[in-house]
Chain A
Amino acid sequence: MTSAALPDARRDAATATVGMTIFLGATTMLFAALFFAYAVMRAQAPAWPPAGQAPLPRGALGVNTLVLLAASLALRAARAAARRDALASARRRAWGALALGVGFLAAQVIVWRALVGAGVGPSSGIYGSVFFAISGLHALHVVGGLMALALVATFWTRGASAARRLGLCALYWDFVLVVWLLFYVGACLR
């Protein structure tokens, strides 16, 4: 019922997880609303992609998806290491995850530039509007996650709190991954 009886560290970890879960619930609603907007736009368009618009580069976006997935796996590995108190290897893996995350962003920027080059930009029509708005906002959430991860990886001290914080990062990262997967499968592939 109430949690006063638990030891402090575990209590804090549980509290932080509750907070993170609620936060992710809120963020889910944000992306749900965006996907709803996407669905409305697509349902109302006479053709998708509209005539004369270059389709999205599925292959390149697929590669980016894999990079994001790899980052997520690296983060899980880091958390596992932190739980074993293997701090050095946890740190290595966390920085690895960070690098992969930055790689994802860089790869997204490349895709964006290529699309704009092919005449699909945010202002080129509704097709570009939805892709750039949702992938852009997703990228912002990735940036947020990377900043948090960088803070954690730089400032952690004890194994227990490192594992806890990496756990929160991993939870968030999984969320960002799922959002991207949904978008990729629902919007880019179909």
Chain B
Amino acid sequence: MIEATSDRHPAPTGFLARFVFSRDHKVIAKQFLGLGLAFLAVGGFMAMLIRWQMAHPEAPVPVVGRALFGASGGIISPAAYTSLFTMHGTIMIFFAVTPILIGAFGNFCIPLMIGARDMAFPTLNALSVWTMAAATGTLTASFFVPLGAPQAGWTAYATLSTAVGSPGLGQTLWVVAIYLNGVSSIMGAVNYITTIIRERAPGMTWFRLPLTVWGFLMTSILNALFVPVLAAGMVLLFFDRVFGTQFFIAGSTIKGGGDPILYQHLFWLFGHPEVYILILPAWGIVSDLLSFFARKPAYGYRVTVGTFVAVTALSSLVYGHHMFTTGMSPLLGESFMVLTMIISVPAVLLFLNWLGTLWRGAMHLDTPMLYCLGLVFTFGVGGLTGLFLADITADMYLHDTYFVVGHFHLIMAAAVLLAIFAGVHFWFPKMFGRMMSEPLGKLHFWLTIVTLNIVFGGQLLIGYAGMQRRLYDPSVYEFLRPLLPLNRIISNAAFVLGASQLIFVVNFFWSLARGHVAPQNPWEVGTLEWTVSSPPPHDNFDEIPVVAHGPHELGNPLVRERLGRDWLAQSDAADVLAPDEGTA
């Protein structure tokens, strides 16, 4: 049941209560993190298999081929390849990035950053993680059922995803898994929004919220509003598959029937907000971190908040740009095109604020900052390629080619992934009480950023040359055969990229056990989570802090003069910045 808490509850004892069925937001964050990282590894492994097929069609996969694809002699079969990209996309979006970025960081940061003892509804929070676990279980089960894993792509377009195109239990389980995943997201969203509205510490006004929290707030609003639309689509698809309804199965002229395009409307009315659901937390994190590591306030804080709100408001109005080639009415298509282009205005403003934050700063190139700078670049390239796709004439050629794949990987698999790495490095000390290794982190960064750009930049080129996505064997097309060398280069870069991730894994576990013990405030910044010990005590704050300052009071000359440091905690006394003789 929904139950609000404000009073402190005693720290639970016993292993199960503390680590498994915990209602503590910090423990739940770690549960989401573990689950998400595990699935990130699975999804990444699948990407390696996809790249193997693009580089060496018809050749058995080395090492793991026999075990995974025994029936076809270690060669990836068309059916297996179809399942691979379907599950790669599904896992990465719903079961890797969503749990890590929103589940883990959202849970960990929101209460600590706003000065609350926990989420507003701790039980609901625990329920959310367990619903997510049930969803992952269902998804995993879909691999092992008769007629094989889901094969309709992560978008699961009807009619292909109905019983007409995909008989068998696998696709049904996929539908259930996505539905459960959505339920978990909605629970999280209700919790996050309520917590941010109701549980802010005294003095934590809306415009003193760290931008990270703003990112989570906007993401949660989109989750609460648009995941239900996906749920509706999944429910109808489920009914079509199981109860023989025909929402998405076209009828004949005599007998009225359903409409496959209706599915696309429902899916993308969710799907486009979803891409902003994934990017908004990343925007929030990078906006804060750029300021922290440039030792300079975030440039144009209020404008940045405004861009978050604008993008959130616009996000549902542009979804039709995924459907330009479905033969939609000209007026509708043109409106979607123009609206999509308008969304680039807030994006550019946000981008300029990032550059403004860096400009004339005193940058510390610690690992989290490196990831953030990488993010700025890859998001720039990825976002600008979005403009190509927004243009209907260009999209008629580029739609469903690797250009689209390159576009969204540059944002989701480069920018968002880098935000995840930045966040893990940045909050690791607060989460686990130890620092991650800087040398290993830097090595991982450089290997990752170089290979990422080769892989996803290469995909843009391949797409420009006309290669369709979801193509098991491009050599069927004569005009795609010359692309094989480039595909090989991309694949080799992807393998190096995949191997480099092992450095991150090593760094993660090594630091967990052996990292330097973290001080309370290793990065010397002022947001509230750094005013408590690392890791924070059970109830976060011995006493609820009183907030007197914004989150980015860095490099303020007055503070330097009076306190002798270049940062100011949000909960430092208000009179530090008093105009007259303040107390030092």
Contact = CB atoms under 8 A, between A and B. Distances in A.
User: Do A and B share a complex?
Assistant: yes
A39 to B, nearest CB: 10
A4 to B, nearest CB: 5
A123 B165 CA distance: 18
Interface string B229-243: 101110110010001
A25 B221 CA distance: 10
B121 A37 contact: no
B255 A125 contact: yes
B1 A4 contact: no
Contact of A26 (B197, B227, B251): B227
Interface string B543-573: 0100000000000000000000000000000
Given A30-B231, A37-B232, A126-B246, A19 B224 contact: no
A4 B5 contact: no
- Give chain A's interface secondary structure class: helix
B19 to A, nearest CB: 26
A129 interface: yes
Contacts of B227: 26
Interface in A16-55: 16, 18-20, 22-23, 25-34, 36-37, 40-41, 44-47, 50
Contact of B6 (A1, A8, A50, A123): A8
A126 B258 contact: yes
Interface string B4-19: 1111000000000000
Contacts of A159: none
Contacts of A165: 1
A129 B229 contact: no
Contact of B190 (A1, A22, A40, A137): A22
A55 B258 CA distance: 19
Contact of A33 (B203, B233, B243, B259): B233
Nearest to B269: A33
Contacts of B460: none
B226 interface: yes
A133 B2 contact: no
Given A2-B200, A44-B256, A122-B245, A23 B1 contact: no
Query: Chain B interface residue count: which class?
Result: 35 or more
Contacts of B269: 33
Contacts of A19: 2, 4, 120-121, 124, 190-191, 194
Nearest to B185: A26
A50 B198 CA distance: 51
A124 B231 CA distance: 24
A187 B565 CA distance: 67
Query: Chain A interface residue count: which class?
Result: 35 or more
B411 interface: no
B350 interface: no
A125 B227 CA distance: 28
Contact of B189 (A26, A45, A122, A132): A26
Contact of A2 (B4, B203, B235, B243): B203
Interface in B242-270: 243-247, 251, 253, 255-259, 262, 265-266, 269
A148 interface: yes
A1 B205 CA distance: 7
A125 B200 contact: no
Contacts of A20: 2
A27 B186 CA distance: 10
A29 B197 contact: no
Contacts of A27: 228
Nearest to A168: B2
Given A40-B262, A46-B256, A11 B6 contact: yes
Contact of A37 (B190, B226, B266, B544): B266
B224 A25 contact: yes
Contacts of B224: 22, 25-26, 29
B522 interface: no
Nearest to A52: B255
A1 B236 CA distance: 42
Given A4-B544, A15-B194, A37-B266, A30 B232 contact: yes
Nearest to B235: A137
A99 interface: no
A80 B196 CA distance: 31
B256 A126 contact: yes
Given A22-B189, A37-B232, A125-B246, A151 B1 contact: yes
Interface centre among A29, A40, A132 (most CB of B within 10 A): A29
B156 to A, nearest CB: 16
Contacts of B246: 123, 125-126, 129
Interface string B201-233: 111110000000000000000001111110111
Contacts of A50: 255-256
Nearest to A49: B256
A33 B226 CA distance: 10
B93 interface: no
Contacts of A25: 224-225
B167 to A, nearest CB: 16
B201 A2 contact: yes
A66 interface: no
B190 A23 contact: yes
B190 to A, nearest CB: 5
Nearest to A18: B194
Nearest to B193: A22
B233 A15 contact: no
A13 B239 CA distance: 38
Nearest to A129: B245
A12 B5 contact: yes
B197 to A, nearest CB: 6
B190 A3 contact: no
A12 B4 contact: yes
Nearest to A38: B247
Given A26-B186, A26-B227, A30-B229, A122 B256 contact: no
Contacts of A123: 243-246
Contacts of B205: 1
Interface string B178-197: 00000000100111011001
B239 A133 contact: yes
The 4 closest A-B pairs by CB, nearest first: A123-B244, A33-B232, A129-B245, A45-B256
Interface of B: 1-7, 120-121, 124, 186, 189-191, 193-194, 197-205, 224-229, 231-233, 235-236, 239, 243-247, 251, 253, 255-259, 262, 265-266, 269, 544
Interface of A: 1-5, 8, 11-16, 18-20, 22-23, 25-34, 36-37, 40-41, 44-47, 50, 122-123, 125-130, 132-133, 137, 148, 151-152, 165, 168
8 contacts: A15-B6, A30-B228, A41-B262, A46-B256, A50-B256, A122-B243, A129-B247, A132-B245
Given A12-B6, A125-B255, A133-B235, 4 more contacts: A16-B2, A26-B186, A33-B266, A126-B251
